[in-house]
Chains A and B, each alone.
Chain A
Amino acid sequence: MTLSEMNAGEKAIVTRIEADGELKQRLFSFGLRKGSHLKIKATSIAKSTMEIEVGSTLLALRFEEAKRIGVQRA
């Protein structure tokens, strides 16, 4: 499943990231990579953006980007 299918309050482990080079590097530098633990903190109205917690970093990303992040419920 992908991150976009998760709901606020759930926890997950990243299994794969299907992004192109730059975005992938970006996610890496935010601490988001294969094996990272994350928690969905909130989603915005109409499910356009979500806030996730990776380590002690809070990240905002679009559902479109979340679709490219494969996860496994934890």
Chain B
Amino acid sequence: MNELIIALVGQPNVGKSMLINSIADARLKVGNFSGVTVEKAEVRFIAQERSIKIVDLPGTYSLNDYTQDERVTKEFLENEHYDLIINVVDATNLERNLYLTTQLLELDKKMIVALNMMDEAHKEGICIDHELLSSILGVPCVKVSAATKKGIGKLLNRTIDISNFPHEKSKLIYSDVVEEEVEKLSFFLKQKRYKTELPYRDLVLKLLQENPKIYHKMHDEPIWLEFSPLLKESLEHLYLHHETKDVGEIFAEERASFAKGAVTEALTCKKSVSQNMTEKIDALLIHKFFGIPIFIFLMWALFQLTFELGSIPMDWIDAFFVSLGNYAKTIFGDGELGSMIADGAISGVGAVVMFLPNIVILFFGIALLETTGYMARVAFLLDGFFHRFGLHGKSFIPLVTGFGCSVPAYMSARTLKNDKDRLITLFIIGFMSCGAKLPVYVLFAGAFFSQEHAGNVLFLIYIAGAFIGLIAAKFLKKFVFKGVDEPFVMEMPKYRLPSVRLIWHTVATKAIMYLKKAGTFILGASLLIWFASNYPKYPSIEESFAQKIELAQSVEEKATLENEKAQLLLEKSFLGIIGKSTDVLFAPIGFDWKMTIALESGLAAKEVVVSTLGVLYALGSEVDEGNESLIGALQGQISFASSVSFIIFVMFYLPCMAASIVFTKESGSYKYLFYLFVFTTVIAWGLAFVGYRVALLLG
């Protein structure tokens, strides 16, 4: 038998992704914010000896292609091949959810309704007669709870049952006015024995909804002469009754009243809860005066935690890799192989792995923000402020996601309807420092600021980045992407405690991805950097130094000469040549060529910045036995002003390759990538210059 293709459709925040997780234990991201599953996610599995594919479509409030996400869903439902729809509805918010259901019923496909969140509905005192609802809608309704995994098996069984039976028409009926006109027009078509593939009822409804295709077809047929006056008359009746000539609005009202009617009958009891949890929390979190300070405090706390808590295991990991490097040298010797493994692979990978704890804490915080429903509140709080900078309150979500990783951030900008708002948001996402930039900050903040201040510096870096981002947005809105504002209308989902399983999934996946990257991409890059910094070889230089060292009197003199040799060789290596040839560009902002190279390699991935520093300074400090850690090496070789300048440059320059590719895709043109490159580079360089000069003055 063929594969059974199921489209999973529902409004945002109804637990769709959680449901698909419960069905197939798939690792999909589940969120509480509009449109977390932006990408079309699919799951394949086998049940009752049938292979099944479930396509998780982006959440949509209706089939009206308002946002890009919703367009994806609409287009899939109208054009792609699928056998059956599972419509997931939130049982605690039935009426609004059934609005979408009525639109889905109009598609005339096999369908099943999953009444999700029944556990919550019970708690709120809502009872639903699902059998009655089934008979009203004409499609089966199954009570489920994705959170407690109740009813999942039953849903699956019913789904497979339906797929085996022939399709039955739904029982969607409209108001008497519409039904009368449908009856009248259908009767006429029947009398004329009009031949059409569609049933008369469907045909007439499509005509009343002003479906252009049907009009086009019938317009050229003889029947049109007699039929069109009748149709016009029917429409006039509808206009009169609904007090509007907008058929979109008329049918929206029709659907809404059908949904309302269905709920009135099927909802058998509803206790009115005086003040529910969401209201109590909202009273505090979106408080007129406390709301924003609370938000800022929470963000501050997150960055403090990221640094303070993260620094504990960080020291262990650092120490571990240093001793691992030394151990490797005892095994592989001090020669080329030993150096490649210890100074190349281990130093580079170690420099990246060291920051795993920070990354985990940061992603944990962002996952919490995403899944609890707090994000929408912040959008609400900040819209007024954002609006002044030419941004939309909803831009907040991609921007915060950008603190984790720019790639999903670029994607989540799709929830913005207006193209210009979206482009502005896309342009400044990079200014929200991503997780991969964190190691650079932690490293430099740790090296150049005292332990007590490092956490605050980190917070300041992020805030400053965001602030410059806002100013840049204002600039773009005023001079580049001028245009009308998108209306701000969004749902504030109920607060929900995220399941531990879900948070764990999200954080663990991110951590594994980070480690994988360290073990593959970063490892490769580190080896490349090591090679480029060790070759070509200069035997004559090495020899002359060897003689000098031989002749040296004291131990100190020997050490100095060793250092000189290492530096000279490094400067003459491939990497040194590249770095030196481009460092004129960076000299005014206080970079030496090593920093230049680290920065340039960061274009591939931001993690490479620290791994490159790790390799370069591990080589340079070989002789300095007293201080082997990277932080020590940086303190010794980079001035405070240069480090400030470096941090600033990293904050604003072009995001990594992967992110740039996604940016190009989402913005729709390579032209924009070029603009982004120029835009970010100019800002990064300019601000780094200012920062460097100020830091020099401060000493």
Contacts and interface: CB of A to CB of B under 8 A. Distances in A.
Interface of A: 19, 21-31, 33-34, 41-46, 48-49, 51, 55-62, 64-65
B179 interface: no
Given A44-B286, A49-B384, A29 B489 contact: no
Given A25-B66, A25-B248, A61-B488, A51 B384 contact: no
Given A30-B491, A60-B492, A48 B387 contact: yes
Contact of B99 (A28, A48, A58, A61): A28
Contact of A31 (B95, B384, B492): B95
Given A21-B248, A58-B278, A26 B99 contact: no
A24 B64 CA distance: 11
Interface string B451-466: 0000000000000000
Contacts, number: 129
Given A25-B249, A41-B279, A45-B384, 9 more contacts: A28-B249, A30-B489, A44-B286, A44-B291, A48-B383, A55-B96, A60-B379, A60-B380, A64-B485
B256 A61 contact: no
Q: Is the interface of B mostly helix, strand, loop or mixed?
A: helix
A61 to B, nearest CB: 5
A25 B291 CA distance: 31
A60 B487 CA distance: 11
A43 B494 CA distance: 18
Nearest to B289: A45
Contacts of A26: 61-62, 64, 66, 487, 489
A49 B64 contact: no
Contacts of A24: 246, 248-249, 252
Interface string B388-420: 000001000000000000000000000000000
* Most interface-central of A22, A24, A48, A65 (chain B CB within 10 A): A48
B492 A59 contact: yes
A49 B393 CA distance: 10
B93 interface: yes
A57 to B, nearest CB: 5
A45 B492 contact: no
A65 B381 contact: no
Contacts of B288: 42-45
A40 B474 CA distance: 31
Contact of B393 (A21, A56, A60): A60
Contact of A59 (B248, B286, B489): B489
Interface of B: 61-62, 64, 66, 92-93, 95-96, 99-100, 246, 248-249, 252-253, 256, 278-279, 282, 286-289, 291-292, 376, 379-381, 383-385, 387, 393, 485, 487-494
B96 A57 contact: yes
A10 B490 CA distance: 20
A62 to B, nearest CB: 4
Nearest to B292: A45
Given A28-B252, A30-B489, A44-B288, A62 B383 contact: yes
A33 B96 contact: no
11 contacts: A23-B487, A24-B246, A26-B61, A42-B282, A51-B286, A58-B282, A58-B491, A58-B493, A59-B492, A62-B393, A62-B488
A25 B279 CA distance: 27
Contacts of B92: 56
Contacts of B287: 42
A62 B289 CA distance: 18
Given A49-B393, A51-B492, A30 B487 contact: no
> Which 4 A-B pairs have CB atoms at the shortest separation, nearest pair first?
A48-B384, A29-B62, A29-B61, A58-B492
Nearest to B279: A41
Contacts of A56: 92-93, 95-96
Contacts of B485: 64
Contacts of A46: 384
Nearest to B379: A60
Nearest to A54: B96
Nearest to B100: A29
B256 A28 contact: yes
B292 A33 contact: no
A62 B488 CA distance: 6
A4 B383 CA distance: 16
B491 A57 contact: yes
B438 to A, nearest CB: 31
* Most interface-central of A34, A57, A60 (chain B CB within 10 A): A60
A39 to B, nearest CB: 11
B589 to A, nearest CB: 39
B387 A22 contact: no
A19 B494 CA distance: 27
A14 to B, nearest CB: 12
A26 B285 CA distance: 26
B99 A44 contact: no
Contacts of A28: 62, 99, 249, 252-253, 256
* Most interface-central of A23, A27, A44, A51 (chain B CB within 10 A): A44
Contacts of B256: 28, 31, 33
Contact of B383 (A25, A30, A44, A57): A44
